[in-house]
Amino acid sequence: MIDFSHVSVLLKETIDGLNIKENGIYLDGTLGGGGHSQEILKKLGEDGKLIGLDKDIEAIEHTREKLSKYGDKLIIVNEDYEFFDRVLDDLGIELVDGILLDIGVSSYQFDQGERGFSYNYDAPLDMRMDRNSNLTAKKIVNEYSEDELTRIFYEYGEEKWAKRIAEFIVYERNNKEIETTFELTEIIKKAIPAAARRDGGHPSRQVFQALRIETNDELGKLKRSINRMVKRLNKGGRIAIISFHSLEDRIAKEEFKELSLDCVCPPEIPKCMCDKRREVKIITRKPIVASDMELEENHRARSAKLRIAERL
């Protein structure tokens, strides 16, 4: 039986930041275990509505049961948040009053050994949040070129031994296909010198993070979604994004900044030619991070950052 226990990070800060209207319409693009959604639902009146999206069917089945008491207030759809606009169109909803994205992997996904997210369990190299997707971590490890592997390990995992690990992977897969998490972990341990492995955390942590991000196109879909989401907000509606990786946070920061500018013409042009008008007010000039108290209760909140913007 799957344990869906999950502690929602920055819960109070996120709900407060969304500035919930009693009869508003809200979109939770990353439903997961339903922690944030439940708090939104508690604040909604009879005419309020929450649309919850998730591409993980197991999460949806669990959360639909967990939140069943809210009845018609909650609409759950098995869909990736990147396609939120299609869901809203199908429901006949033009604009919403708030959007939440809690980016990353839920605790229960990490704890499901067979999903391949964790180096702590021996399992097939999968890492798909959407099990209908064709791209798996196994495919990446066995088919990407050495240069491609080096790039994703360095960019997405900030792994300083990226090139050496990629070299060892390519050498090993020429002899035998790399199929499991433990097989990959053994290769990573061989690639990283023993002295370097004595410092820091588990030697596979950064490579597994990079593979998960690449498998699920986490950075690409976030960048493609923010601008479109803002355009589906009512005036005064807010978008809240919780990220767990510096690159995700940078995307949110840069997209919010771009949307908050009146003009993006080069400084040497004396008169604005772009006709751009600011679309949001940035609520969080600096990201909100977990308090010491929250970190004591939930170590997975240590890298969480919350950014919020409001539609003008």
pLDDT at 71 over 80: yes
Residue pair 8/299 in contact (Cβ under 8 Å)? The answer is: no
Residue pair 67/34 in contact (Cβ under 8 Å)? The answer is: yes
Predicted confidence at residue 227, as pLDDT, reads: 97
pLDDT at 5 over 60: no
Of 56, 60, 57, 62, the closest CA to residue 1 belongs to 62
* Domain positions in the chain: 11-108+218-311, 134-215
Tell me the pTM.
0.90
H or E element, residue 256? helix 246-259
- Calpha distance 48→69 (Å, rounded): 14
- Calpha distance 264→277 (Å, rounded): 9
pLDDT at 20 over 90: yes
pLDDT at 59 over 80: yes
Confidence bin at 196 (pLDDT 50/70/90): confident
- For the residues 23-41, what does the mean pLDDT come to? 96
> Residue 16, class by beta-carbon neighbours within 10 Å (0-12 exposed, 13-18 middle, 19+ buried)?
middle
Topology (CATH) of 11-108+218-311 = Rossmann fold (3.40.50)
Confidence bin at 7 (pLDDT 50/70/90): confident
Read off the amino acid at residue 215. T
CATH number attached to the domain at 134-215: 1.10.150.170
Q: Which residues pair with 100 in a beta bridge?
A: 28, 240
Residue pair 95/234 in contact (Cβ under 8 Å)? The answer is: yes
- For the residues 183-208, what does the mean pLDDT come to? 89
- Calpha distance 274→138 (Å, rounded): 45
Per-residue pLDDT of 256-302, as tens digits, reads 999 999 887 888 888 887 788 899 999 999 999 999 999 998 887 88
* DSSP label of 299: G
Of 258, 230, 246, 257, the closest CA to residue 303 belongs to 246
Which pair of tokens denotes residue 213?
Answer: 């991000």
Q: Which residues pair with 288 in a beta bridge?
A: 306
Predicted confidence at residue 75, as pLDDT, reads: 98
- For the residues 32-37, what does the mean pLDDT come to? 93
